Amino acid sequence: MILLDVRMPGFSGFDFLEEFRNIHPLIKKDVDIYMVTASLNPYDKKESEKYDFVKGYLLKPITNELLKELFFSFQEKIAC
């Protein structure tokens, strides 16, 4: 699981997704990416939906409860 910030200096989350798209087929394990942002810009969410490995779009601040939910759901997924 990767928590990926949408806005990073020099190399945005979307830059990362474009690079990851190239190596994703070579990875033997599932990788779920969750986009993390403080932006309410609907373009960012729509753009993230172009990638099938992006499993969610999370608004900051991220709570401990949400992190626990993500962690446990991912654990269940990889246990199957």
Taking alpha carbons only, the member of 51, 42, 49 closest to residue 18 is 51
What CA–CA distance (Å, rounded) separates 54 from 13?
11
Residue 79 has pLDDT above 90, yes or no: no
What CA–CA distance (Å, rounded) separates 8 from 47?
16
Domain ranges of the chain: 2-79
What CA–CA distance (Å, rounded) separates 68 from 1?
13
CA distances from 70 to 1, 50, 56, 62, 64 (A): 9, 21, 10, 11, 10
Q: What is the pLDDT of residue 16?
A: 97
Structural class in CATH, domain 2-79: alpha beta
Residue 8 has pLDDT above 80, yes or no: yes
Q: What is the pLDDT of residue 74?
A: 82
